[in-house]
Amino acid sequence: MRRNPAGIIRALEARDDEAAGAVIRAVRREFGVTGEGFDNHEADATPLHQIYGAARSHYFVVELDGCVAGGAGIAPYGGPGSETCELQRMYLAPSARGAGYGRALLEHCFDAARRHGYRRCYLETAASLDAARALYLDAGFREITAPLEHAVHPSCDAFYVLELGDRR
């Protein structure tokens, strides 16, 4: 059994941009999900707090001992009035894995999605991310065979959708 480090999950703040971006880049390198088509440049191009400060968007971070150790967010998928949000940039540093923070991040994102009026949550990922894919299935996502219309991550090869009304 792993020790559950003392930590909190909270909304992203501007002061978290550098640390959250570093976690995203490090985990992508660790699992080989880098390069064109995995949006690895996006965390540097626009500060995360600006991306997730947009309407109907939200990003949460895991903070362990005062340091950002992961995060996940939601944003509209397919246009501003869409009933579908996309789960985005869900990554955890090794120090935050295995302690329930991934599941807790998902629940925070689902709650925010419902508050923003979304009916479903979509995500694109890499088939090689076995632990993440197992978490998504356990949380109620169902795998679909192809990306939804408007997909922008051509290197992703695993696609999931969750009807938010199915969860309470």
Q: Which residue has the tokens 């990554």?
A: 91
What is the helix (H) or strand (E) element at residue 117, kind and residue range?
Answer: none
Asked whether residue 1 is assigned to any structural domain, the reply reads no
The DSSP secondary-structure symbol of 147 reads: P
Beta strand 120-125 with 84-92 is parallel
Domain enclosing residue 142, as ranges: 7-166
What pLDDT digit, counting tens, does each position of 101-125 carry? 999 999 999 999 999 999 999 999 9
What is the DSSP track for 83-149? SEEEEEEEEE-GGGTTTTHHHHHHHHHHHHHHHTT-SEEEEEE-TT-HHHHHHHHHTT-EEESSPPT
Distances (CA, A) of 78 to 24, 42, 65, 143, 165: 23, 18, 37, 19, 19
Q: The CATH number of the domain where 29 resides is what?
A: 3.40.630.30
* Cβ 156 vs Cβ 39: under 8 Å: no
Give me the chain's average pLDDT, please: 88
Going by pLDDT thresholds of 50, 70 and 90, the confidence category of residue 132 is very high
- The pLDDT value recorded for residue 159 is 94
SS3 148: coil
CA angle 74, 75, 78 (to 5 degrees): 135
Taking only Cα atoms into account, the Rg of the chain, rounded to an integer number of angstroms, comes to 15
Q: Which residue has the tokens 């169902």?
A: 142
Asked whether residue 145 is assigned to any structural domain, the reply reads yes
What pLDDT digit, counting tens, does each position of 31-87 carry? 888 766 555 445 456 899 999 999 999 999 999 999 999 999 999 998 878 899 999
Percent of the chain with pLDDT strictly greater than 70: 87
Identity of residue 134: A
CB 89: neighbour CB atoms within 10 A? Answer: 24
Asked whether residue 2 is assigned to any structural domain, the reply reads no
The number of folded domains in the chain is 1
pTM beyond 0.85: the answer is yes
Asked whether residue 54 is assigned to any structural domain, the reply reads yes
What is the helix (H) or strand (E) element at residue 8, kind and residue range?
Answer: strand 7-11
